[in-house]
Structure 1
Amino acid sequence: MTHFPIHSAYSRYLCNVFFFPLNFISTMTHFYIHSAYYMAILYSFRNSFWGLKL
C-alpha cells in the first residue's frame, strides 16, 4: 500500500476543521492541569521555607 501525501494533507485538514474545537478544549484542560501541579509545587515550597530567615 502506497502513502499519498495529498490524501494525508486532506485528511489532516479535515481533522483540523472538524476536531479542532475538541482538541483545543483538550489542550486547554491539559494546560490547566499542569498549571495546577506547578502552583501546588510552588505553594508547598513556599510553605516549607516560610520559617526560614535568610
Structure 2
Amino acid sequence: MPIEEKINDLRKQLVETMGIKWKFTDDEVIRISQQLDEYIVEMQSLRDEKGKRK
C-alpha cells in the first residue's frame, strides 16, 4: 500500500476513534497519532530526497 494511502487510512481511523473516545490522551488515540506521525515524517523524507535529486 502506498504511503499516502496509509496516511489517509490512519487519518480516518484517528477521526473515527476521536469521535468515540473524545480524549486526546486515550491510549488508542495516541497509538494511531504516533503511527500517523511516523508515516508523515517518512513521506516528507522521501519528498526531500526526490527534491535533492533534481
The corresponding residue for 2:39 is 30
Alpha-carbon offset, residue 18 of structure 1: 3.7
Flag the structure with more relative contact order, 1 or 2, with Cα contacts below 8 A and sequence separation at least 6: 2
Q: Give the % identical residues.
A: 0
Task: Name structure 1 gaps, 5 residues minimum.
Answer: 1-8, 46-54
Alpha-carbon offset, residue 29 of structure 1: 0.3
Q: RMSD between aligned alpha carbons?
A: 2.1
TM-score (norm 2): 0.53
Amino acid at match of 1:32: V
TM-score (norm 1): 0.53
Report how many aligned residue pairs link the two structures.
Answer: 34
Asked if 1:13 is matched to 2:20, the reply is yes
Runs of 4+ deviating beyond 3 Å = none
Task: Name structure 2 gaps, 5 residues minimum.
Answer: 1-15
Which structure: larger Rg? Answer: 1
